[in-house]
């Protein structure tokens, strides 16, 4: 009965969310983690550069194994959906424990959806 009281834009947003959840469930465990990451990033407040700290993102993904999240983030970056970045050297804050150690790029501590990263630059 609650849906009957929704405005058209609320119904559209709800339908999109349901589609997202169904697609994530059908994608299997890896796809499900990736979908949860994308969903969380879509609704998180970003810094001026369009990114959020991995520590903040991990806080939104409680219950997911760190290794699964790391693997999904790296895969999403390979697909061109997110950008992983090192900490801003001028920020003064480092979230070493939450970062992903990359063999050639060093410690990656921030992530942005590609669309948000483009808008911020």
* Count of the separate structural domains present in the chain: 1
Reported as a single tens digit per residue, the pLDDT across 8-67 is: 888 888 888 788 778 777 877 788 899 999 989 988 999 888 899 999 999 999 999 999
36 in a domain, yes or no?
Answer: yes
Question: What CATH number did the domain enclosing 102 receive?
Answer: 1.10.10
Is residue 87 scored above 90 in pLDDT? no
2 in a domain, yes or no?
Answer: no
Buried b (16+ CB within 10 A) or exposed e, 46-59: beeebbbbbbbbbe
Give the model's pLDDT for residue 88.
66
42 in a domain, yes or no?
Answer: yes
Structural domain that includes position 59 = 7-120
Give the model's pLDDT for residue 69.
96
Give the model's pLDDT for residue 121.
59
Identify the residue with better confidence: 4 or 59: 59
Radius of gyration (Cα) for the chain, nearest Å?
A: 16
Is residue 98 scored above 70 in pLDDT? yes
Q: Do residues 115 and 121 lie in contact, with contact meaning Cβ atoms separated by under 8 Å?
A: no
């Amino acid at each position: 009965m609650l849906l009957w009281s929704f405005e058209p834009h609320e119904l559209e947003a709800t339908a999109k969310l349901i589609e997202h959840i169904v697609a994530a469930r059908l994608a299997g465990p890896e796809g499900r983690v990736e979908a949860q990451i994308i969903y969380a990033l879509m609704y998180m407040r970003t810094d001026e550069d369009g990114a959020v700290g991995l520590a903040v993102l991990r806080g939104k993904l409680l219950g997911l194994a760190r290794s699964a999240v790391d693997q999904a983030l790296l895969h999403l970056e390979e697909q061109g959906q997110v950008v992983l970045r090192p900490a801003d050297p001028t920020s003064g804050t480092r979230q070493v424990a939450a970062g992903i150690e990359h063999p050639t790029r060093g410690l990656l501590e921030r992530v942005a959806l590609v669309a948000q990263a483009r808008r911020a630059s």
